[in-house]
């Protein structure tokens, strides 16, 4: 955190690095009466991060000085998170929000949810609100089903609509993550009539014992998004088991040898964004101050 004094006025700001997530599998086991899908998944947080700077305003205004390309302020999850926090706590403070997007949008990596979580955690500190995690998670759920896992900051087994979290032991893993450059919108994928919605429910113990799992969105995305299908076909013979995160379109494989992966990826098609990443936890609590 930085404190800058200018005359008699103090400006307080905080720069955070909200991380992406991977869904190590994704099943749908039914639907609620309100239409929301019931999921089972495992979340892994990774060190592919956005950058969000929060600066306290004493006039109570919520402003955005930088944001995701193509996202209007009213739809910006960071802006919505700040306004929700302000309205729920009656804080007299405002904030300026400056987001640098590095996590690809429309990739199933959860960047928007991570940014919203970062905003809630950051303002909780900057505004000295001292809300407990349970209250922050209830606020986060109003913004999106993936927001709570970024607030919890741990790998997790998730059920319900993705908000019922069971913390998993952290394991240091490495992944190659590839965004083939093709945007896949989440809402239309959930509306697909061909989407499998009747997966047999698993127990956490089943998953940990090696039960067969998949991502129910992958067959649909491969059929409808040719760049994603081509990327999966390119990666499979080189790296083995290729998985897709969320409803697409990012693909990933678990790896052991980063140097070897980087050598193989020199021949990757142009237009891809890719990174070798590590699993992480406590991304907010362990930040440099």
Q: Is 285 a catalytic residue?
A: no
**Annotated active-site residue in 50, 76, 96, 146:** 146
Q: Which of 59, 57, 64, 123 is nearest to 98 (CA)?
A: 64
Q: Is 21 a catalytic residue?
A: yes
Chain length of the chain: 289
**Annotated active-site residue in 21, 76, 101, 115:** 21
Active site residues: 21, 146
């Amino acid at each position: 955190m930085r404190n800058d004094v200018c005359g008699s006025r103090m400006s307080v700001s905080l720069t955070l690095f909200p991380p992406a997530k991977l869904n190590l599998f994704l099943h749908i086991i039914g639907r609620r009466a309100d239409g929301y899908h019931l999921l089972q998944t495992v979340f892994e947080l990774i060190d592919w991060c956005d950058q969000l700077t929060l600066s306290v305003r004493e006039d109570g205004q919520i402003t955005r000085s930088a944001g995701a390309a193509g996202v209007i302020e009213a739809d910006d999850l960071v802006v919505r998170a700040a306004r929700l926090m302000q309205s729920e706590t009656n804080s007299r403070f405002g904030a300026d929000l400056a987001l640098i997007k590095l996590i690809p949008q429309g990739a199933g990596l959860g960047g928007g949810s991570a940014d919203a979580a970062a905003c809630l955690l950051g303002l909780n500190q900057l505004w000295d609100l001292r809300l407990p995690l349970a209250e922050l998670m209830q606020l986060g759920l109003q913004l999106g089903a993936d927001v709570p896992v970024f607030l919890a900051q741990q790998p997790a087994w998730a059920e319900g609509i993705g908000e019922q979290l069971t913390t998993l032991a952290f394991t240091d893993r490495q992944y190659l993550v590839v965004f083939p450059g093709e945007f896949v919108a989440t809402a239309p994928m959930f509306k697909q009539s061909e989407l499998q919605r009747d997966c047999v429910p698993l127990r956490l113990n089943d998953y940990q014992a090696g039960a067969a799992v998949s991502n129910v969105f992958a067959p649909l995305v491969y059929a409808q998004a040719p760049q994603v299908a081509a990327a999966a076909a390119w990666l499979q013979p080189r790296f083995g088991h290729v998985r897709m995160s969320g409803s697409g379109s990012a693909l990933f494989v678990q790896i052991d040898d980063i140097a070897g992966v980087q050598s193989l990826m020199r021949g990757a098609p142009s237009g891809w964004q890719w990174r070798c990443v590590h699993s992480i936890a406590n991304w907010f609590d362990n930040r440099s101050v």
